[in-house]
Structure formats: C-alpha cells, structure tokens
Structure 1
Amino acid sequence: MPKISELDPPRIIIEGVGKTYTLHHTHSFKETFVAWLKRKKTSTSFEALKGIDFTVGESEAVALLGYNGSGKSTLLKLVSGVLRPDEGRILTRGRVAGLIEVGAGFHPDLSGRENVYLNAAILGMTKDEIDARFDEIVAFSEIGEFIDTEVKHYSSGMFVRLAFSVAIHTELDILLVDEVLAVGDAPFREKCKAKIRELVAAGKTLFIVSHDLGMVADICSRGIVIRRGEMMFDGPIDDAIPTLKGLTR
C-alpha cells in the first residue's frame, strides 16, 4: 500500500532549471566608453544554476544546503516567482508563502498593523480572514505595543518576527524560508521551529535555506546539496549534511 504522499502530485517540480546573471564591470557611460577604447570587457556572465532537477512532495520538509555563492537563494527566489529561470521550468501546486528577505514587501511608512493587512492580502487572504487571525498574528510576532508604529522604526528582528508570523498564519501550502530564522532570540527561534513542525504535520510543504545545520537536521527529513550552481546530492538529511561538509567551496 503506497503512502499518501506518493499518491498526491508534487508540490514543487523543477526541471532542467538554469539561471545566468550578467555582471557589469562599469558603473557609468564614461567608464563604459573608456573600457571600450581599451578593449576591456564591460560585463561577464555568471551561471548561478545549471540543470537543476528535482521534485518536492506534499508535506515534505526539505533543506537546500550549500556554501555562500552556491545558488541556494537564487533557486528559492525562482520557486517563489521573484525570478524567472533562463532555462527549464518550475511548477508549484498550491499557495506559496515566501520569507526570502528580511522585511521584503513591507512598506516603511505604514504601521505594523497596516503591513499585516497589506502582506496578508498579497498572500491571498481576504479582509475577513485577516480580521479573524490578526490578534494571533500579533501575539506570535511579540510586537505588542509597536504594532501601530511605522515599520521603518523596527529592528531587523522585529521585521522578521512580524513577516514570519503573517506568512505562517495564511492558508499556505508551501512555505519558503531563507535564513530568517537566524534572527531573533533563542526562545523565539524555538517557537518558530515548533510552528514549522506543526505546519509540516498538517501536510504543508517546507523548503528552507539555512546555514544552521543543527536546525535543519531537527526540522527537515531531506537535504539537497548545491555547489557552484550544480546539484551534488539529494537524499536523507543525515547524509546530506556530511556530504556538504565534505565539499570544497
């Protein structure tokens, strides 16, 4: 008898994905003109990702592992739809909530309260749904009396707590997390881990980038290791971590 997860279609499909960036070496028309006269290159191409292939199933908790510059955050942004691949395709099934950058999507001149409504609406919630969950969002974030303060006065930790709280209290199917759990004190990080476990137990899919190997080993069952834009390993998290440690940068 197959498991339920094997009967359901994948939440994320990544097929032959490649992403190339153009790195510009000049910053003005004058610099470009001088470089052209000297026959120097004004730009070069950098392959951030090369032929990435894998799928993520329902209720899987997957860690994307690699050293700085390996392409992890680029891949997460492609899955979120912030970037588009130059090659291949990415398909997602269900509502995606992404915590990709600290404070991303927050308007600095709006209060925390106003940003909760704005961000939750962007994630597809109705006003009635936000009204019903507002107190829970604020309580989890531990923002308290600062909820009506303009978020430009928030610390990075306050940004993260509120953004994380909004994302996990939406009707999400896929949660994308990029390093944001590294911010905040230990009790809050533990609370976040507990909430993530609760979401995964409820059948949600987690795709996380983190350098905190202890945390991903605790939360995730599967690890994908990327090195210089290429996938090196895909398998159990207990094997993925030693694989990462054995790689050169």
Structure 2
Amino acid sequence: MRSQPLATQLAALVQPVQALILDMDGVLVDSEQAHMDALNMILTRPTSPAEFAALVGLGAADTWAWLHAHHFTAAPLDQFLAEYDTAIVRRLAQSVPLVEGIEQVIHAATAARLPLALATSSRRVWMEATLRGSQLTHIPFQAIVCGDEVAHPKPAPDVFLRAAALLRVAPAACLVIEDTPTGVQAARSAGMPVIARRSAWIDPHRLHAATLLVDDLHPIATALSTRGA
C-alpha cells in the first residue's frame, strides 16, 4: 500500500471509517512550545528543546518521573502537578495557534457526519484551558477523554478505547490522527488505524508504526471530503 500515491492510500484508509479521533497537542493545536515555556517556569533548571522533545506525548505522571530522574525537579508529584497546572493554564489563556489544516479536517469530518472525539494525554484542566484559550469550544466533539481520566495514559490504549466506547463505534472503525510515538503506539494497541503528522519536535523515524505518515493535514481533509464519491 505504501508504494501507492498518498492520495490513493488516504482514500482507501478513510473509506470504511465510522469515527475520527484526534489527539490535541500537535494535532489540534501547535502547543508544544507553550508547554515547554510553562514547564521551564517551574523547574530547577530549564529543559532544552531536545530534552523537552523526549517528553512530548507523555502523560503528566510520566513527565514528572522523567524530570525527577534527570534532576530537573525535586518536587513531589502532587506539588509538581499543582505548580504546572497553574503555569500552563495561565500560558494557554494567551491562545496557541491551530495546526494548519485541522479546521479543514474537522469541517470535512462533520460534513461527512463522522462522529468526532478528542483523546489526549493532557489533564482535563489543560484540555479545557486549551479549547477555551484558542476559542475551540465550538468543535462538536461527541466524546473527550483525558489522560488523568483513565487507568493508564498513552502509550497504553485506554484513552482511545474509552473514546470509541463513548462514541459506540468499534475500535477498528475509528481513525486516529496523532503526532507522537506514544500516541501512535496507543492507537495501534487499541486496534485502530492511525495517521501520524510529522513535526519539528519528533524524529519521523520514531513514527514508523503509524499506518500512514503525512507532512500536513490538508490531504486528510481532501480524502474525507471526497469519501464515498
């Protein structure tokens, strides 16, 4: 399949889809820099872009564990989360840019009457601040699942399986759009096809398990808009 043109691959991939599940950071909004800025405000020493890239896609507890192990913070988990909640909510209130092409994807999915879900490693307080600050509360998500609401965050499949259950759609019939290795692994473990968006934060070789890789989201919107034509 991968030897075929991208448009052909996407058309075949979206044809049987019954629901679309989006990651938030790096798919809906280009928020990694905002998270890095907020994180560095509360650490003993700031992370570099390369160090922060190791954290992209991790849940809150796993992020703290990495930072604690590498001596970026001595704070216990509860204190770290309280301080970071305050810092990131303040930063997200300033708004963060949308990922280019995501508006077209959402419009195409809505026009095709595909149920939409948001499945993120972020805590609910971060998710709410993101949607509110970037004026995205109007998006018609039928389900939203956050990393602090499941037993195991990404790379475990819990957030995606929970989203599919809320949508009442079989996991194999859900298409996921992701941008991190942990997200790709979570989707595949859930039995879902997953399109990974390349970004400056992640080495694309780490996304090899994705069903398809894309440089931007516009081709996905095109495939969804012509689905069934």
Same fold per superposition (TM over 0.5)? no
Of Structure 1 and Structure 2, the greater strand share is in 1
Flag the structure with larger Rg.
1
TM-score if structure 2 supplies the norm length? Answer: 0.29
Of Structure 1 and Structure 2, the greater helix share is in 2
TM-score if structure 1 supplies the norm length? Answer: 0.27
